[in-house]
Amino acid sequence: MAAAVLLLLLSAGALLYSTEAQEAYNQLPGDHRKGVDLVLNELGSYAAVRLHFLFFKTVQKFEIESGFHVKYISHNFLLKPTRCAKGTAVSDSSPPRCPFRDDRPMMDCTVCYKTFEAEIEMSPKPYVHCIQRPKLTKEMTAARTDHCRKMSYITGSPSLLASEGLEGV
């Protein structure tokens, strides 16, 4: 009887923990959620990845607004493996009840991409890099930062005077 009560308490705790993670995901700005979704879709497409992951927490995020509804976003976050089967659907109306696994390492992911009017642009190609947390090196972190910095660097700046149709202004 005591074992059953303990099992019930552990199950409820795991459910609460994954619900909190879903809440953390829901609290992200829309542009950042799209980046997390991009990573989850790409991660799920690899045959070598056998686990279902959920957003756990943000490590660091940057956003550069370059004008004309264009943003460059860089987001470093953690994904935690769950006990659900790979490919478990995630919907906003009913969060999946996938308890986290503590026997597997978290994935440390960085994604950087350009958005135009809140939609991810395919040019330049979004950069996605995920690796198990214990395997992440300082060199990898530096390479991620360098790649995202180069992606968002633009020589010159946009100008209204460069737009067509402003003759005689």
pLDDT band at 19 (very low <50, low <70, confident <90, very high): low
pLDDT, position 67: 86
Number of folded domains that form the chain: 1
Token pair of 126 as six digits = 């979004």
Q: What is the CATH number of the domain that holds 11?
A: 3.10.450.10
Burial of 114 (0-12, 13-18, 19+ CB in 10 A): buried
- What digits encode the pLDDT tens for the residues 64-102? 998 899 999 999 999 999 999 887 765 544 555 789 999
Triad 54, 101, 15: Cα angle to 5°: 70
Q: Does 20 score more than 50 pLDDT?
A: yes
Predicted pLDDT of residue 141: 97
Stated pTM of the model: 0.76
Would residue 65 count as lying in a domain?
Answer: yes
Domain that holds residue 118: 2-154
Q: Per-residue pLDDT averaged across 128-152, rounded?
A: 94
- For residue 99, the 8-state DSSP code is P
Residue 161 lies in a domain: no
pLDDT of residue 88: 73
> How does the average pLDDT of the chain come out, rounded?
80
3-state secondary structure of 62: strand
